[in-house]
Amino acid sequence: MTALSVEARPPLPSEPRPLSDREVADGFVRGDEHCLAVAHARWHGLVHALAARTLGDAREAEDVGQQVFLAAWRGRAGYRPERGPFPGWLVGITRRKIADALAARTRRRDLVVAVGERLSPDGLSAPDPDRVLERIVVTGELAKLPAAQREVLAMAFYGDLTQVQIAERTGMPLGTVKSHARRGLDRMRRSLNEAPGGRAATAAQATAGAA
């Protein structure tokens, strides 16, 4: 290699200096999408670990992580550096989203219990907590069931009928009604337990204006 060729080689670009936490926070608040990406890469692990430790569910924790950064981005004008560092602000949002997820999980479980109690052979109905919320969520879940299971559970939920009454109206043997109800409830329970917290929370928000 000649000296001329060495001299003609362009200089290698220098590595960019990593942004400090304060620079990331300042850019984030200004709406800089590059700083959003840096913030997500830098602190998503912290958010996910906190959510996973509390919720005990990796999928639900991932959903909470997405909600946290979406909420932070939309509410970035509310960050005040004099009140604490940016990661601490994200942790505060994370705790609120975890609380929302736990509340949504409780609502889903209560919903399954309410539907199950409406199918009790003695005809005792469950207390009427939030009928509008139940109808919004149950309607979506019933639509996913096979026709026979959907018919039995719809009559129980919307018609407040016992299994004996459903058997009389449909002509199905009582044992068949019980089997369809049990299998349908099992499907709904699995679907509701696997659903992200956002779905029940959205249903609750949608019912607020209708209540």
Per-residue pLDDT tens digits for 143-199: 778 888 878 887 877 677 788 888 888 888 888 888 888 888 888 777 766 655 444
Per-residue confidence (pLDDT) for residue 138, from 0 to 100: 64
Lowest mean pLDDT among 82-91, 118-127, 133-142, 178-187: 118-127
Q: Which residue has the tokens 């049990």?
A: 182
Lowest mean pLDDT among 112-116, 152-156, 164-168, 206-210: 206-210
